[in-house]
Each structure stands twice: as structure tokens, then as C-alpha cells.
A and B are shown apart, each in its own frame.
Chain A
């Protein structure tokens, strides 16, 4: 892909995520979105960088902090806001809410609010690809907390044993709700350990979406070369509280100074500056942003106006 076009596409994705999350923040106190939100602010480079490297045959599995990857993968906001507002127009008719975003049409096949529980699903998706000799990879997103769950190690072991087409994407923000990684993990380098399973490993601290995108392409290439699963260890900083729309530095479990350091390399600003540097005009960028703003505003309006699901829906979809 043309370098400048890639930069623009990645900017569109990070901007869509940031703006969508800001829109949730703007309206959340109206109390019409009655669903706990774990916002992706700060995580945009990973969501956009990895998802932009995926093709239509690839699958995505994620966590409760899924807005970023959902938006980066689907690009759509009508069903997204419909779901947040609990309306019939949501992708799961309001049954799923923020923590269970889902879009089988885009091979976005499951997100979960129990840490590490979607990893085995992604394993099954990868298994199905190998079994049916189908193209594509299974991308499984999870946080650093998942590294303490048995499901992660069980899945890693099986994936490596059977050489399944899977990319494990660890989004490491150093926090499990409010618990620091140093108080939870005895190991220093997860990539060292994972590599011993026969897994290709990659690690990156950059918040530059292009760096993450290129690293993902490298992982995909490596997986195709040697058939082994890949593990990507990617650092980012969670700007807001674990769940909700507020900053939480006043509670003292982490310092605002650290946040300020990360803010200097904010993924959205970084990518915007890059666009200016490679020759996009302020006007051109503004035009792209306005289009996305309009898309989101329209989706919010639709979601607000949409009807709630019929009461009978409580008992549908339990069984096929």
C-alpha cells in the first residue's frame, strides 16, 4: 500500500476510536447507555495497527475492552451505538452491551468480560481454519492480566503443539483493574517464556500505529513461513479508570506524571502530526475528521431514536 495512504487509513481508524470513546464520555452521564464501559482511550495504536493488518479471512477475538478493536475491524458505528444504548438496532439487539461486542459478518467472533476466556475461542477458530484448510489467521486480544490465567497457558500450549494459525496479541497496560503487574507476576519477560513453547515472539512499546501495523505484518509473514503461532507483546497506557469515563489519578494507585509522559506520544496526535509532516494539509485532515464526526453523530442520533427490543426477546436466542 502507498505509504501516505496507509498513514491516512490508520489515522482514520485511531481517530474513529478516539472520537467514539469521547462521544460515549460526552453522553454517558445522561444514563441512556446503561452498560459498563471499559474505554480504549490510549490503546488506539494497537487496535488500529493490528486490525488494519488483518484481512477478511482473519478472525478477531477480544475482551471487555473491545471498542477499539471492534471499531478498527468493522468501521461501523450504527450497530455499535445501538448496542451501547441497548436498542433493537444493536448488533445483538441490546443483549450484549459494551462488554460483549460481536460482529460475525466481520469475523469479529467474540469478546468476554471474564479475563482470558476468549483465548480458547480464538484457539478453536484457528483449529477450524486448519481443520478445514481455510485461509486466514485467528487474532486473539487480551491484557496482561490474562497471562496469570490458566486458560492462556493451556491455549498457548495447544496452539504451539498443533501449530495452529493464531496470533496472540497481549495488550499490556501494566494494570489489572488497579493492581500493578509487579505485584502479580513473578516473571520479568513474558516473551522469553512464550518463545520456549515454540512460538514466534514480537514485542513493542511504541504508540505509533504504523509501527504496530508493520510489526503485525511481520508476525503474519513469520507465521506463514514457519507455521508457528505468534505472540505479540504490546505496551500501552490506559488513560482512564478501569471501567467508566473518568480519570482516576486522585486515588493514588498510579501517578499522573506517568500519564503525562505517555500523553507526549499519544497515538492519535502522533499519527496526525505524521500526516502533516508527509504533506497532508490541515484542511484535508479536518475534512476526514469531520466525516467521522458526522458518522458518529448520526449513529448516536439513530441509537437514541431506535426502539428497545420487544419484551419477548428475553427468551429468544437462548437455544437455536
Chain B
């Protein structure tokens, strides 16, 4: 199968869906500028015109409500934000209107609204351009929250999100934009609410979100050389959460680490740890551990930023503790340094 990047996969999903359904339109700050949301909106203006692809005033709140109003009137809006942090300005609409509108109508309306937002990281993104906040969105009934990891998921899940009749928050990690992978050329939806086993293993389960899957797979690769067999499970959609594959995996391995691309406190890892303790109690050989951001705003300077973000080494060390392994010599291992590809400012 041909390989394309995560960014190209997003772009292809939107273009193919917009060709299929004229009710889909794309809007947001800078969706038509020369950068086109890091390339993900390339050619959309040219192919579909300014009625179906347009920039907005800096009015996140009203533009979100506008999407809701358009969605209940038969359109299928895709609202795009260059950073998740900007969505905080739309929290009133998201929590008080978008998420409740179907319920408050007694099920009479549908809300096919997609909100794409990018999770920033690195090169000094600092505290207002780096949040993921997926657990906050996932806390609110009525919203679906999707975090694609692979290029294939980027395309397949975005197609499903667009075709879904519910509001979907679709969170894309900036660093994943560069990743390449096999992606079908045809528009092939991947069902929402189905976790994905990225790698099978028997000794321990790592449940990771978004970028942390890349770190988890690296950790698995390193420890495989020592004969440790790691299962990496990507929930992909965290709300509503279908935990069956995750529960089955933990029942098999008896150990679990949740590596979340977010703060730990009151986060997705806590939800998952609770579910695992409820459903796997008799099979657990150790408590569920959580790995995530340091409980602080994201600092700007590189050394502190390195402390803030968890990585493959943290995962390896945690696994060693859980499985009572000796400390692995990592001096010859090469870990990801995407910053080499990610020159600023954005």
C-alpha cells in the first residue's frame, strides 16, 4: 500500500468527503492562508471555493455556536483550530450548547459537527500552545473525543467523524503530522469507538494516547531486545470509551501502564485505572501506573520542557520497576528527537 504522512491523510479525508457531500464545509482561522493549517487544508479552497472553505473572525465562541446552528440545519461543518488551547474560548458553546442540544430536544435533532484542533509541543510552545485537554472534553456527555495516532487512523477516523451525527472533537498532535504510514487511497472509514492494538504482547499492557503511542512503541522495541513482550493499545476514541479490548489485554498481561499525553491528575489515566481495577481486579499482578505531563503549566525552556513531557525512557523505567527487571543500559539507544524536524516558530 502507498505511504503518506498524517498531514496528507487528514487532507485527503477532508477532500474526499467534501467531494462526496456538498453539505460539508470547512472554516476556522487561517484555513485559507498560505500555510493551510500545517498543510492539512491544502487545495480545499481551490477545489471547493470560498463558500465551502473560509476564514473566520477571532470569535471562537460564536463560531462554535454557528457550527451547531448549521449542523442542526442539515450542514456538516468542520471547524478547525490551530491549537486546542483556543477551544477554551468556546467552552461555553461546547459544554452548554453543542453537547446538550440533542438531549434537550428529546432526540429530535442531530449535531454532525467536527471540531479539529491541534496539540502543540516543543520549540517553546509554552503553556498556551501545548494543551491537549482531552479528559476535559471527555468528561462532558454528548461530545465524542478522538485522538488519532497513525496516518491511517488520521484518515479513517476523520472520515468517520465527518459522517457521524454527533459532535466530535478531533485532536491531532502536531508532531504526528510528519509521521508516514500506509493509508488506503479509497475513502475507508475506521469506526469510532474501537481501540487499536498497535503491537501485541504478553507481559504488560501499555495504553497510550496520541503521541505517547510513539513513545510506547519505542519502549516496546527497546525492551523486546531483552525478551519483554509489550502490548501497546491505543484507545483512539476516549469518549464514549469502549474499553473491551483494553480490559481483555490487561486480563491477559496482568500489568498496565497508562501513558497519557496530558496531565495525570483527574485525567484519562485515572478513569482507565479505575475501570481496570473494577474489571480486572483478580487478574492484576500490580497496580495500574500512570505516566503523563508534570503537574505544572508547560514551561518554555528546553531543559524544563524535557522534564515536563514523559517519554519512552520513562515508560521503560516504569516497566522495569513493575516487572522487577534490572535497569537497562540505554546509552546505545537512539530516541526520537523530532525537534530536529521541528524548527520553529510553529
Contact = CB atoms under 8 A, between A and B. Distances in A.
Interface of A: 59, 61, 90-93, 95-96, 100, 102, 104, 109-110, 112, 114, 117-129, 131-132, 138, 150-151, 154-155, 157-158, 161, 316-320
Interface in B80-110: 92-93, 96-97, 101-110
A120 B23 CA distance: 19
B59 interface: yes
A302 B23 CA distance: 41
A109 B102 CA distance: 11
B245 interface: no
A229 to B, nearest CB: 13
Given A102-B105, A120-B93, A157 B69 contact: no
Interface stretch (B70-78, B208-216, B221-229): B70-78
Given A92-B104, A124-B73, A319-B142, A119 B92 contact: no
B56 interface: yes
A131 B75 contact: yes
A238 B107 CA distance: 33
Interface centre among A91, A129, A319 (most CB of B within 10 A): A319
Contacts of A126: 69
Given A157-B57, A320-B110, A120 B102 contact: no
Interface string B290-332: 0000000000000000000000000000000000000000000
B165 interface: yes
Q: Which 9 A-B pairs have the closest CB atoms?
A: A124-B69, A120-B65, A92-B106, A154-B62, A154-B59, A128-B73, A317-B107, A320-B165, A121-B69
B63 interface: yes
A155 B57 CA distance: 10
Contacts, number: 147
Interface in B190-204: none
B64 A120 contact: yes
Chain B contact-residue range equals 35 or more
A90 B106 contact: yes
A127 B66 contact: yes
Contact of A123 (B62, B97, B111, B240): B62
A117 B97 contact: yes
B108 A104 contact: yes
Contacts of A114: 92, 96-97
A124 B107 contact: no
Contacts of B96: 112, 114, 117
Contacts of A151: 61-62, 65, 92-93
A119 B62 contact: yes
Contacts of A124: 65-73
A111 to B, nearest CB: 9
Contacts of A127: 66, 69-70, 75
B47 to A, nearest CB: 17
Nearest to B72: A109
B56 A158 contact: yes
Contacts of B101: 110
Nearest to A319: B166
Contact of A95 (B61, B62, B64, B106): B106
Given A120-B64, A120-B93, A124-B69, 7 more contacts: A92-B104, A104-B105, A123-B66, A124-B65, A127-B66, A129-B73, A155-B66
A318 B63 contact: no
Contacts of A316: 107
Contact of B103 (A61, A118, A121, A318): A318
A120 B105 contact: no
B51 interface: yes
